Amino acid sequence: MTIEQEIKKRKTFAIISHPDAGKTTLTEKLLLFGGAIQVAGAVKSNKIKKTAASDFMEIEKQRGISVATSVMTFFYRGAHINLLDTPGHKDFAEDTYRTLTAVDSVILVIDSVKGVEPQTERLMEVCRMRNTPVIVFINKMDREGQNPFDLLDELEEKLFINVRPLSWPISSGSTFKGVYNLYHKSLMLFRANQKASEDDVLPIKDVNDTLLDEHLGKYVTQLREDVELIEGVYEPFDKSLYLDGLLAPVFFGSGVNNFGVKELFDTFIEIAPEPKSRDTDSRKIEPLENKFSGFVFKIHANIDPRHRDRIAFLRVCSGKFERGKFYHHVRLDKDLRFNNPASFLAQDKNIIEEAFPGDVIGLYDTGNFKIGDTLTEGEQMMFKGIPSFSPEIFKELINTDPMKTKQLEKGIEQLTDEGVAQLFIQNGGNRKIVGTVGELQFEVIQYRLQNEYGASCKFITQNISKACWLTSKDKLKLEEFMRFKMNNIAFDKDNNPVYLADSQWMLDQMIKNYSEVQFHFTSEFKMDLVA
């Protein structure tokens, strides 16, 4: 099979949502359709424990939330699926933002009861920045929720994207009867407390088919009125607008009942984009190029705690990746070979011989990789748009067991390499300040340091408002500023100077008084330093 044929088979996407909208449940159902798992909530290698297959870290099982992006590869209807299940909780938003750089499209899950929530809006902002194609799945239609038309209006008003329903619910809550597929002109009948099956799909000519009267009774009139209104108000579905990120098709259903999910997935396979081009600091990379290139968007230590392994997740952007072949690590300017590249179903790994554009593969890492690193067949370039953001909460890391100092040093080094938090160092390494975007991150770090590294610690909150990376064309001016604000200067893990501002007012004053010094709020400036 040619590279072009392999690319056409690939669908690489993320599922995103506000917490508790049903994202991980939907992920399970897609895995079931693909035959990747046999029972919802089953991890095949783990004797069918009733926890989500995509939530494999122990703390995820205990808290019932996703705290890290899971990568799952499986097949469905001839398509090679690379599915990334992301954390919904706002404290883990940065992991989700970086994951969105590695996908070609997104399925956004909305709770029909709660509608559009704050985290949903933030995630959509990232999608709009990259014009990522989005399909919306309005979940929990078996509960008493909002009016479907009101939900569509809310999607357009709050997410700033045009929508077009491709399926439509027939009533909701206790009287929920099913979903009419506007795209394929079929009816999916709902039976309470039963999982949906092929037998529940009723092929019909259109909404005026008399079979609808037979099966829906008094609800058929409302359905016909709704469909007439939809066809009158909304433009016909235009695939090109969807692919440009300007139009979001909308589906309705119930993930927990496996209802309306197949319509969503089947349509997704038909319309979702193939792997797309990617921007670098020098040129645009096309998937069909002969030479391999890819970038690391996620690092995870201790996927298998027994083996202390560290995996760098790489998105293949062009050419063909081959096992055992040397590739050029651009930042380190050295060649590396990977003998055991793997594909994943959460923490289950399979060694692969080759990978193609769109694929997400795991590379065993001994400490060579950082998030954003690029691999090529020799070309000097770096993929763009994979920044670290300035944290919002800062705490000093305090060692509570001096006998485990080495374990703590190693643990915080590896966990911050993953991007779950950022590490700022003061006093020659004696003082370590950890910055995150949410409080829950500190709980996760503390838990993982104890359980994966045997190191115990506590965190003390610091009076820090913002962290800004510093650069200047005038070396003397930069040194002058760093001397003046000595107690507020730290260094990141790449030894770049960082200003830890006490307050927004003080930061504004420093920016005003030191115009020759540049204050950067994301790590994107490092691209210029490398270039």
Q: Distance between CA 495 and CA 529 in Å, rounded? A: 13
- The answer to whether residue 98 sits within a structural domain is no
Residue 306: per-residue pLDDT: 59
User: What are the pLDDT digits (tens) for 440-449?
Assistant: 789 888 988 9
- Considering the domain architecture, whether residues 67 and 207 belong to the same structural domain is answered as yes
Residue type present at position 224: R
Q: Distance between CA 151 and CA 287 in Å, rounded? A: 37
Sign of CA dihedral 347, 351, 352, 357: positive
- Considering the domain architecture, whether residues 407 and 330 belong to the same structural domain is answered as no
Least confident of 26-35, 130-139, 232-241, 365-374: 26-35
Nearest-Å Rg of the Cα atoms of the chain is 25
Last residue of one domain, picked from the residues 271, 288, 305: 271
Residue type present at position 31: L
Residue 50: per-residue pLDDT: 34
Tokens in use for 206? Answer: 């259109």
User: What rounded mean pLDDT belongs to the chain?
Assistant: 84
Local confidence band at 195 (pLDDT 50, 70, 90 cut-offs) = low
- Considering the domain architecture, whether residues 261 and 337 belong to the same structural domain is answered as no
Has residue 118 got a pLDDT over 50?
A: yes
- Considering the domain architecture, whether residues 315 and 440 belong to the same structural domain is answered as no
Residue pair 382/530 in contact (Cβ under 8 Å)? The answer is yes
User: What are the pLDDT digits (tens) for 332-367?
Assistant: 999 999 999 988 764 467 888 999 999 999 898 888
User: What are the pLDDT digits (tens) for 42-67?
Assistant: 433 333 233 344 444 454 455 444 43
The average pLDDT across 311-325 equals 93
Local confidence band at 529 (pLDDT 50, 70, 90 cut-offs) = very low
Has residue 80 got a pLDDT over 60?
A: yes
Q: Which residue has 């770096």 as its token pair?
A: 382
Q: Distance between CA 367 and CA 457 in Å, rounded? A: 23
| CATH number of the domain encompassing residue 157 | 3.40.50.300
Residue 348: per-residue pLDDT: 62
- Considering the domain architecture, whether residues 421 and 290 belong to the same structural domain is answered as no
- Considering the domain architecture, whether residues 430 and 463 belong to the same structural domain is answered as yes
What's CA 132's distance to the chain center, in Å?
12
Residue 526: per-residue pLDDT: 56
Q: Which residues of 445-476 are buried (b: 16+ CB within 10 A; e: fewer)?
A: bbbbbbebbebbbebeebebbbbbbbebeeee
Q: Which residues contact 323 (CB under 8 A, 6 or more apart)?
A: 338, 339, 340, 341, 351, 352, 353, 354
Least confident of 11-20, 35-44, 120-129, 327-336: 35-44
- The answer to whether residue 97 sits within a structural domain is no
Range(s) of the domain holding residue 311: 278-376
DSSP category for residue 236: P
Last residue of one domain, picked from the residues 349, 376, 403: 376
Local confidence band at 277 (pLDDT 50, 70, 90 cut-offs) = very high
Q: Distance between CA 161 and CA 146 in Å, rounded? A: 19
Q: Which residues of 142-164 are buried (b: 16+ CB within 10 A; e: fewer)?
A: beebbebeebbeebeeebebebb
The average pLDDT across 254-278 equals 90
- Considering the domain architecture, whether residues 209 and 264 belong to the same structural domain is answered as yes
User: What is the total count of domains within the chain?
Assistant: 3
Has residue 307 got a pLDDT over 70?
A: no
pTM: 0.78
DSSP category for residue 237: P
Q: Give the residue from 349, 297, 293, 299 showing the smallest Cα distance to 321.
A: 293
- The answer to whether residue 387 sits within a structural domain is no
- Considering the domain architecture, whether residues 445 and 461 belong to the same structural domain is answered as yes
Residue type present at position 18: H
18 CB-side CA count, 13 A = 16
Tokens in use for 95? Answer: 């992991």
Least confident of 66-75, 299-308, 443-452, 519-528: 299-308
